[in-house]
Amino acid sequence: MFMGEYQHSLDEKGRVTIPSKLREELGERFIVTRGLDRSLFVYPIDEWRNMEEKMKALPTTQADIRAFARMFFSGAVESEPDKQGRISIPQHLREHAQISRDLYILGVSTRIEIWASEIWKEYSQKAEESYEALAEKIIGLGI
């Protein structure tokens, strides 16, 4: 399980170091793709395969499902860390997440998320203000 919040920066070549605690569980190869809320999602290969299977089961006759699948899969790239634990984030993904330099890497259960620093700070401040209300909403889901 991935968890934690880590502050990092891109280097001049568009690379970022994945924290060792997360890298160990991520494995040697993984998938980086467009996430939600202007973030990037990073999936271990096994979890990516689970997502593929779930997406295959959805009806392609619905336009919103087709649109989401196109964006989700077309943005995906296979990646692996170099000897220093760095990964290269392609330009199209940096643009999606509006990452220019400073960023946050989050462990979020079955995936890692990468956020531009400013966007994460704004998002997390809003989420923190409504944390209790969010908890009340999801308690009905059996959590």
C-alpha dihedral (64, 127, 52, 112), degrees to nearest 10? 150
Is the pLDDT higher at 55 or at 138? 55
pTM: 0.93
Q: Helices (H) and strands (E) in the chain — how many of each? A: 6, 8
C-alpha dihedral (93, 91, 77, 85), degrees to nearest 10? -100
Quick: pLDDT tens for 28-75: 999 999 999 999 999 999 999 999 999 999 999 999 999 999 999 999
**Rounded-to-integer distance, Cα 89 and Cα 62, Å:** 31
Helices 63-74, 45-56: inter-axial angle, 10-degree rounding: 160
> CA separation (Å) from 112 to 58, 60, 119, 129, 140?
24, 27, 16, 23, 26
Whether the predicted pLDDT of 131 surpasses 80: yes
Q: Quote the pLDDT of residue 135.
A: 84
**Rounded-to-integer distance, Cα 124 and Cα 105, Å:** 13
